[in-house]
Amino acid sequence: MAKDIGIDLGTANVLIYVVGKGIVLNEPSVVAVNTHSGNVLAVGSEAYRMVGRTPNNIRAIRPLKNGVISDFDATEKMLSYFIDKLDVKGFISKPRTMICAPTGITNIEKKAIVQAAEKSGGGKVYLEEEPKVAAIGAGMNIFQPRGNMVIDMGGGTSDIAVLSLGDIVQSKSIRVAGDKMNADIVDYIKNKHNLIIGTHTAEKIKIQIGAATKLPAEDVKTMTVRGRDAISSMPKSVTINSNEIAEALKSTVDKIISASKDVLEVIPPELASDIVDRGVMLTGGGALLRGIDKVISNALTVPVIVSESPLENVAKGAGALLEHMNHNK
């Protein structure tokens, strides 16, 4: 018997939820390809370790950009690899798949995601909007007649939505999220310290010492960063701190806040009142940035809560929706 699966097809990571088992896979959305033969050499974690370190005949690519498929063949091969690895297909039946997409994408982009999932898993595919699924995965009851607001900050997109009665009332998706933060850090360190670093290093900096706002001296963390000197091209290391990263990320954090205000400004007053009472749920990898909840709360003047497992909410929500469909059957 095939096992139904929920997929968070993220720009940075793919998470897969198997009904009855929970999350069984969490790997980077990276594929390593031989440029001469076109053969896939590695997928996921193994391919991620190759980013920025490959010879000319090997290319480590991320087949999703800004939450949508930029390389269809690589996406299909990556999904097929992950699904085969899980052994969820039955002898006769094929798994039903719930897959998630950002709110602002086109019908063509939606079709590409569904086709990639169909070719990889082979069964019936359902497409759901990411913030709705993330809200369910974060434990919000969106099926009641009251307002729930979620800000889902992923790798490629930040999706902001207000939900009520099981659906999205108002939403906005901006292509400003974790990847843009990494690029901000790369640019800042090059401009301020004349040091060239890769996105891998920027991601590590963001996770280890990153902050969304300037911190008091006792909370500031420091980190030694190695790269290439922008002037001499020789290897070099510098020490940076949390407050520098807050400065680097300010513009991106402000854009996410601005998009959140745009959503709040157009919802009915009754829903706005519910959000004042219930607060905003932060989910996605960006929710782990130190101080982001306080910065957003101060800007929106409503309580902001970081979900318990922000990286897993979309996959969990997709699984919960599939289980709900099974139950209703």
| Contacts of residue 324, Cβ cutoff 8 Å, sequence gap at least 6 | none
Residue 289's pLDDT band (boundaries 50, 70, 90)? Answer: very high
User: Which residues make up each annotated binding site?
Assistant: 11-13, 155-157, 203-206, 285-288
What residues does each domain of the chain span?
Answer: 5-28+66-132+313-328, 141-176+251-306, 178-248
Percent pLDDT > 70 in the chain is 97
3-state secondary structure of 239: strand
pLDDT at 92: 62
CATH class held by domain 5-28+66-132+313-328: alpha beta
178-248 CATH fold: Actin; Chain A, domain 4 (3.90.640)
Amino acid at 9: L
- Kindly report, residue by residue over 110-142, the tens digit of the pLDDT: 999 999 999 987 689 999 999 999 999 999 999
- Kindly report, residue by residue over 137-161, the tens digit of the pLDDT: 999 999 999 999 999 999 999 999 9
Q: Give the global pTM.
A: 0.93
The answer to whether residue 88 scores a pLDDT higher than 80 is: no
Residue 62's pLDDT band (boundaries 50, 70, 90)? Answer: very high
Q: What is the mean pLDDT of the segment spanning 258-263? A: 98
The answer to whether residue 321 scores a pLDDT higher than 80 is: yes
CATH number of 141-176+251-306: 3.30.420.40
Residue 97's pLDDT band (boundaries 50, 70, 90)? Answer: very high
5-28+66-132+313-328 and 178-248 have identical folds:
no
The answer to whether residue 197 scores a pLDDT higher than 70 is: yes
* Residue whose C-alpha is closest to residue 9's, from 125, 90, 108: 125
User: Which residues make up each annotated binding site for ATP?
Assistant: 11-13, 155-157, 203-206, 285-288
Q: What is the mean pLDDT of the segment spanning 180-203? A: 97
Residue 91's pLDDT band (boundaries 50, 70, 90)? Answer: low
Query: DSSP strand E in the chain: where?
Result: 5-9, 13-18, 22-28, 31-34, 40-43, 58-61, 64-65, 68-69, 97-101, 125-129, 148-153, 158-164, 167-174, 195-196, 222-229, 235-241, 280-283, 304-306
